[in-house]
Structure 1
Amino acid sequence: MARRFHPRSRPAENLRIIFATIPWKLLILVSLLLAVAIPTYLFGERLGNQLFPSLTKLFYTASASAPTVVPTPYPAFPTVLPLAGLRLYTTAAGDSCDSVLAFQMNMNDAGQVFSDVKPETVKALDKTVGLDCHALQPGMTMTLSPHYPLVAFGGIVLKIASNTAAQVIPTPLINVPQRPLTPDCSGGCNLTVRLAPQVQVHLLVQTTLALHVGAWVWTQATLARQHIAGFDTYPYADPGASLNGMSLSACDFQADNIHDDNSLSCDQLTPNTIDDDGGVWLFGVIGPSALDHWGYHLKLPRGTRVLIWLTSQNGVLKFHAGSPVYRFDGGINKYVKI
């Protein structure tokens, strides 16, 4: 029987046979997938090389601790601090205690603060001026004291005690780094402030500024007044009283380099007669870490203790050239006019 001969298949024929067995729709689908997949892969590879390093940096930044704040250098402490004190006045014909206080000390409400209706107030005034106000004669020497005086200073915050109750904050589900919270002083805070290496005061301040221990604050404040039984509005400070340990109420408040424009103005602190008198007396010291901060431009030697009159303009206290200025004379332990 004759043998059959099977011719060897060629590669082209094999390929044609294979393609013939594949549906044409599948071929089109595979071509489309390849056309989309290859560019997508190349684009994704390029994007990943740029995106992943950025995301890594972002996560490292988010998990890192807050940067350390470099504190502003403190001003140097003054070598001399403000001092409450008296000035002398020699009576003239026709003077009365009320008129002297009105014209010499700008105390327009003297007749209301010291009234015969309340004998204890007149008795306290007699002791303050060193004379019997009902028996004044020309040529007598009176001691005059500024009423409801202010004091100006700067210092470092050592302690903060908020008068506002702390609010309960829910614990977050994840550990998220947070900035340290500052005390809420919108309802008032009691600050312990260092004015000099051995001198601290307690300052009551109401502010929305973020305060922290170590901040440098500038303020004007009501000087603590003497306590007179039955005379709660007695207007005079204790002459020569030390500031160390004194409690004061702040106005015109500034923390570091930020002035609180919404803090209490000095005429909002009670008691006072700023609006009726058109101003207020202020004790201070000449120098860059003292009165120079307020730009009063008093041409006096650094370290000079002064008593100046500030004029109130729409609740803002300003010093005007020609306003009364007194300096402290240690020889007589009194303030003398410049």
Structure 2
Amino acid sequence: MAGRVTPRSTPAENLRIVLRAIPWRLLLLLPVLLVLAFPAFLFGTSTGQRLLPALTNYFYNLSGPVASPVPTPYPQFPTNLPQPGSIHYTVQEGDSCDEILTVQMHMADAGQVFTDVNPNTVKALDNQVGQNCHALQPGIVLALAPHYPLVALGGVVLKVDPTSPLQPLPTPLINVAQQQLGIDCSNGCNLTVRIAPQVQVQLIVQTTLPVHTGSWIWAQAMFPRKPIQGFDNYPYADPTASLNGASMRVCDLQLDGTHDDNSLSCSQLLPNTIIDDGGAWLFGVTGPGSLDHWRYPLHMADGTRVLLWLSIDNNGNLVYRKG
């Protein structure tokens, strides 16, 4: 008996079979569902984008308030400002300028900074001390200025300008205010700081601490030196220059209550002879808004201008030793 062959269904017939199996009401309902589903999807997405950050912020704030970076109240500004000056010394028999600077001013490299190889440096020294160093006589009075001096300052940060372009950061899920985050100054910043009611300075800092406008800053910085043509490492400050608007590099930094233990040391701010000298000179003014912050053992009325010799301790820090 011959085998019976069943003809195969064509694709079109298969499609008709599937369509007959689906209820016609469902076919009518599908377009309606699609029309409703798309707006519902958009609404849910928009609501979720608003709701999730709000909930995250709620629990973030609930976990504890963010500590304010601004101390309240600020320390009082000093009644006077640091001012460069000189120490008078009477020349003794057999003295030379190099010896006087080495012994009286702790300037171990005096013979290298001021050398006859570069007559311009010796001339600049003559102008500073007020006498001809090649013709000293006993009884002559010299004006000895501190070399590569530091200055102690305290003040309010008014403006923060990073010295390198800010890198774009991803939009955070938590909307934390920029004032709380601070500005990254790890690559350097130029800070505008008010150190007296009518006096502002520019402090060049490099710190891993976040910097906020409105913070109180304590700093020791390199006092601006007098520019001398042909003598780039001239070591003395200009006694006639004003601090207002001066630009200074910072080597010891504290923002509000946090000291930057990783900030540059003062000996890293060239030029200077701090390592060879075993210390550095510091201009300052006593009082809670300035020198009192460092707790040096000074017993003077507030607002007193002082010149201190700071010695390097065993840890490489500059410290004041009375006497």
> Residue 201 of structure 2 aligns with which residue?
201
CA–CA separation in structure 2 for the residues paired with 1:224 and 1:64: 45
1:169 positional shift: 2.5
CA–CA separation in structure 2 for the residues paired with 1:60 and 1:287: 43
1:67 positional shift: 5.4
Q: Find out whether 1:162 has 2:162 as its counterpart.
A: yes
Q: After the TM superposition, which of the residue ranges 185-194 and 67-76 deviates more from structure 2?
A: 67-76
Q: Find out whether 1:316 has 2:317 as its counterpart.
A: yes
1:315 positional shift: 2.1
Look up the equivalent residue of 2:58 and give its one-letter code.
T
Q: 1:159–1:100: structure 2 CA closer, same or farther, 3 Å change rule?
A: same
> Residue 6 of structure 1 aligns with which residue?
none
1:59 positional shift: 5.8
Q: Find out whether 1:177 has 2:178 as its counterpart.
A: no
1:60 positional shift: 7.2
CA–CA separation in structure 1 for the residues paired with 2:175 and 2:245: 39
Q: Find out whether 1:228 has 2:228 as its counterpart.
A: yes
Return the TM-score normalized by structure 1.
0.74
Look up the equivalent residue of 1:61 and give its one-letter code.
Y
Q: 1:290–1:176: structure 2 CA closer, same or farther, 3 Å change rule?
A: closer
1:209 positional shift: 0.3
Q: After the TM superposition, which of the residue ranges 160-169 and 262-271 deviates more from structure 2?
A: 160-169
> Residue 34 of structure 1 aligns with which residue?
none
Contact 1:296 1:319 in 2 (8 A): yes
Q: After the TM superposition, which of the residue ranges 106-115 and 288-297 deviates more from structure 2?
A: 288-297
Look up the equivalent residue of 2:254 and give its one-letter code.
Q
> Residue 146 of structure 1 aligns with which residue?
146
CA–CA separation in structure 1 for the residues paired with 2:304 and 2:240: 15
* Corresponding residue SS for 1:296: coil
Q: 1:193–1:61: structure 2 CA closer, same or farther, 3 Å change rule?
A: same
Look up the equivalent residue of 1:317 and give its one-letter code.
L
CA RMSD of aligned residues (A): 2.1
> Residue 100 of structure 2 aligns with which residue?
100
After superposition, what is the alpha-carbon deviation per residue over 1:202-226, rounded to whole angstroms, capped at 9, x for unaligned?
Answer: 0000000011100000010000000
Contact 2:159 2:191 in 1 (8 A): yes
Q: Find out whether 1:242 has 2:242 as its counterpart.
A: yes
After superposition, what is the alpha-carbon deviation per residue over 1:213-248, rounded to whole angstroms, capped at 9, x for unaligned?
Answer: 000000100000000000000000011422111010
CA–CA separation in structure 2 for the residues paired with 1:99 and 1:136: 12
Unaligned ranges ≥5, structure 1 = 1-54, 323-338
Look up the equivalent residue of 2:138 and give its one-letter code.
P
1:164 positional shift: 2.5
Of structures 1 and 2, the larger Rg is shown by 1
Q: Equivalent residues in 2 for 1:283-298 (5 A)?
A: 283-298=283-298
> Residue 269 of structure 1 aligns with which residue?
269
* Corresponding residue SS for 1:128: helix
Q: 1:170–1:286: structure 2 CA closer, same or farther, 3 Å change rule?
A: closer
Contact 1:279 1:311 in 2 (8 A): yes
CA–CA separation in structure 1 for the residues paired with 2:242 and 2:282: 16
* Corresponding residue SS for 2:193: strand
1:301 positional shift: 1.6
Q: Equivalent residues in 2 for 1:1-338 (5 A)?
A: 61-62=58-59, 70=68, 71-72=70-71, 73-171=73-171, 176-180=174-178, 181-313=181-313, 314-322=315-323
CA–CA separation in structure 2 for the residues paired with 1:60 and 1:256: 26
> Residue 37 of structure 2 aligns with which residue?
none
CA–CA separation in structure 2 for the residues paired with 1:277 and 1:318: 14
* Corresponding residue SS for 2:168: coil
CA–CA separation in structure 2 for the residues paired with 1:122 and 1:266: 26
Q: 1:63–1:124: structure 2 CA closer, same or farther, 3 Å change rule?
A: closer
Contact 1:194 1:201 in 2 (8 A): yes
CA–CA separation in structure 2 for the residues paired with 1:127 and 1:60: 65
Q: After the TM superposition, which of the residue ranges 61-70 and 306-315 deviates more from structure 2?
A: 61-70
Q: 1:302–1:58: structure 2 CA closer, same or farther, 3 Å change rule?
A: same
Q: 1:67–1:137: structure 2 CA closer, same or farther, 3 Å change rule?
A: same
Q: 1:236–1:60: structure 2 CA closer, same or farther, 3 Å change rule?
A: closer
Look up the equivalent residue of 1:213 and give its one-letter code.
T
1:62 positional shift: 4.2
CA–CA separation in structure 2 for the residues paired with 1:137 and 1:282: 30
Q: 1:63–1:293: structure 2 CA closer, same or farther, 3 Å change rule?
A: closer
1:113 positional shift: 0.1
* Corresponding residue SS for 2:251: strand
Unaligned ranges ≥5, structure 2 = 1-51
1:291 positional shift: 1.1
After superposition, what is the alpha-carbon deviation per residue over 1:46-81, rounded to whole angstroms, capped at 9, x for unaligned?
Answer: xxxxxxxxx9x9667148799575542210111111
Equivalenced residue count is 265
Return the TM-score normalized by structure 2.
0.78
CA–CA separation in structure 2 for the residues paired with 1:159 and 1:97: 44
